[in-house]
Structure 1
Amino acid sequence: MRIGINTWAWVAPLTDDDLARLAPRIRAWGFDAVELPVQAPGDWDPVRAGELLAGLGLAPAICAGLLPEHDLLADDDEVVRRTTDFVRYCLRAATQVGAAVVAGPLYAPAGRRWPLDPDARRAATARLVERLRPLADEAAGRGVTIALEPLNRYETSLINTVDQALEVVDGVAGLGIALDTFHLNIEERDLPAAIRAAGDRLVHVQVCGNDRGVPGGDHLDWSAMLAALADLGYSGQLSIESFTAPALAVPMSVWRPLAADPDTLAVEGLAFLRASSAG
């Protein structure tokens, strides 16, 4: 597994100058990969980023969440068009930067929650499958996989668990799953079993402590989770995703320090994951 980190540990939104400053340090610490967030098209240049990361030997991945004006489940055709245009931008950026994965909750904006009885859930899932198919086809044509991420119940009411993600992913050829240990810890009764349930559809993994801070030293059973990934033969990225960038404090409800500083989060998280993976 390649160990990476999301630049949200330091900055939000990411810019070209930020990446030029951060990427050499990330590589010098010993990371194999970096996760690049897309908050709005044009924040950073994918071509420039691709050249920088290739020169450093850092493997990129892209993560994205839908903006408030986006919703792939909307009744409004214009909203759906805006949403698909945004996802297509992420796919183009992935091609240009050299990323194999675009990961995130690419179905509705985080925070959109609504009651779903069984019939409503089936209808929403069917609509999502229909609207994701052409995007997954386009991704496959680019050599990229869209990885759908379950979020916890406070951020969405649609896809909270691996089983719910599989209801969508199994209906869309080429679609994958991204798992985040923070959300797994809230929604899954057995985290290693949930990881194994994702099977060969698992293409991206984000990690952090149960408090969204440094991996390790928290209550998560890291040895069992890493063993589950090894059992799957998972060879994708293990990307530290935490939100120590000041601009993310309010949107991500970070009310206390998650680490001494972002550099400490990176260095200690990498050391823990490297030692745990080797063991």
Structure 2
Amino acid sequence: MKLCYQVATPDVSIVPSVTAFQGKLSHSFGRLGELGYDGVELMTLNPLELNWDEVRKEAEKNRLDVVLVCTGEIFGQKKLSFMDKNAEVRQNARARVKEIIDFASYLGAYINIGRVRGQYTDELPKEVSYGYAIDAFKDISEYAGKKEVKIALETVTIMQTNFINTVEEAVKVIKDVDNEYFRLMMDIFHLNIEEKDMFETIKNYAEYNIHVHLADNNRRYPGHCGLNFEKIIKAFKEVGYDGAFCTEIFQIPDQESAAIGAVEHLRPIFNKIYG
């Protein structure tokens, strides 16, 4: 089990909507290491702009494992997706994700697929859009398999996309892709909104899950609002999950306070449940 915090690499624009620690990696990694985190999840936009060796050495220096590279800002800041009506946009989305797969492979990490998958629109029939997505998922999964990188498909609330909102929907897609490197991740913020019973979902689909995002029900740091994280973490422990738990939260009131608040709330819970 690893308790991790999301970190934006320097190629990501610094904006309030980014759910990650931002700034120079030497500061981000150094501070999170001091606070007692076990690892980081990187949010990146263009990995070819980064010095990969420096990223790895900085993480190692601060005793942090890089567990996953997040693709969210490919859509958030570049509007690239697998279901766009424009073939060039779809191809650019695949190319950028493959660059991130290369980066993740170098770091020994997974990647996730969130908003870059795209969404249904009135401009295309649903079956056409779905076909675009499945073709892209198969393509990147085959590529990732050659690099020994697992892909974690994230369910996302209907407020952000109309494609793959529930874990049941995600598992159908995973079965249609039919590649051992294409799996599931569970984000507690989205599960709390979209699932009838979050705990039944964790239990029923545990075999597909390879990564977990943590945030309170207002997308702020765990312990800030209403979710019972001891019950949530215990549910994952009971189904045998022993992977990474990573925050994906708004940096409110600021990233220093959010990082401190998260670790102070979560570390005692993990110590109690996982030992």
Instruction: State the TM-score, normalizing by the size of structure 1.
Output: 0.83
Equivalent position of 1:27 in the other structure: 33
Equivalent position of 2:152 in the other structure: 147
1:9 touches 1:262 (CA, 8 Å); kept in 2?
no
The residue matched to 1:6 in structure 2 has which SS? strand
* TM alignment of 1:1-279, pairs within 5 A: 1-8=1-8, 12-13=12-13, 18-60=24-66, 61-65=68-72, 66-67=74-75, 68-99=78-109, 101-105=110-114, 107-109=116-118, 112=119, 114=121, 120=126, 124-172=129-177, 173=179, 174-244=181-251, 258-259=252-253, 261-279=254-272
2:41 touches 2:69 (CA, 8 Å); kept in 1?
yes
CA distance in 2, matches of 1:133, 1:274: 37
Offset of residue 159 of structure 1: 0.9
Could you say if the C-alpha distance between residues 180 and 11 of structure 1 is closer, same or farther in structure 2, counting changes exceeding 3 Å? farther
Could you say if the C-alpha distance between residues 165 and 107 of structure 1 is closer, same or farther in structure 2, counting changes exceeding 3 Å? farther
2:83 touches 2:130 (CA, 8 Å); kept in 1?
no
The Cα RMSD (Å) is 2.7
1:94 touches 1:144 (CA, 8 Å); kept in 2?
yes
1:38 touches 1:63 (CA, 8 Å); kept in 2?
yes
1:93-137 C-alpha deviation (Å, 9 max, x unpaired) = 1122232x101315435xx56369xx93x6544442232112112
Task: Answer with 195-204 or 124-133: which moved more.
Answer: 124-133
CA distance in 1, matches of 2:34, 2:157: 34
Could you say if the C-alpha distance between residues 264 and 74 of structure 1 is closer, same or farther in structure 2, counting changes exceeding 3 Å? closer
Could you say if the C-alpha distance between residues 91 and 178 of structure 1 is closer, same or farther in structure 2, counting changes exceeding 3 Å? same
1:179 touches 1:206 (CA, 8 Å); kept in 2?
yes
The residue matched to 1:215 in structure 2 has which SS? coil
1:162 touches 1:197 (CA, 8 Å); kept in 2?
no
2:10 touches 2:23 (CA, 8 Å); kept in 1?
no
CA distance in 2, matches of 1:44, 1:233: 36
Task: Answer with 14-23 or 35-44: which moved more.
Answer: 14-23
Q: Please list every run of at least 4 consecutive aligned residues from structure 1 whose deviation after the TM superposition is greater than 4 angstroms.
A: 8-12, 14-17
CA distance in 1, matches of 2:214, 2:6: 10
CA distance in 2, matches of 1:58, 1:5: 10
**Identical aligned pairs, as a percentage?**
23
The residue matched to 1:177 in structure 2 has which SS? strand
CA distance in 1, matches of 2:93, 2:186: 22
Uncovered stretches (5+) of structure 1, i.e. residues with no partner: 245-257
1:214 touches 1:269 (CA, 8 Å); kept in 2?
yes
Could you say if the C-alpha distance between residues 11 and 79 of structure 1 is closer, same or farther in structure 2, counting changes exceeding 3 Å? closer
Task: Answer with 82-91 or 223-232: which moved more.
Answer: 223-232
Could you say if the C-alpha distance between residues 5 and 16 of structure 1 is closer, same or farther in structure 2, counting changes exceeding 3 Å? closer
- Give the number of equivalent residue pairs: 259
Task: Answer with 70-79 or 202-211: which moved more.
Answer: 70-79
Equivalent position amino acid for 1:223 in 2: E
2:11 touches 2:45 (CA, 8 Å); kept in 1?
no
Instruction: State the TM-score, normalizing by the size of structure 2.
Output: 0.84
Could you say if the C-alpha distance between residues 115 and 197 of structure 1 is closer, same or farther in structure 2, counting changes exceeding 3 Å? farther
Offset of residue 161 of structure 1: 0.8
Equivalent position amino acid for 1:98 in 2: G
CA distance in 2, matches of 1:203, 1:75: 31
Equivalent position of 1:253 in the other structure: none
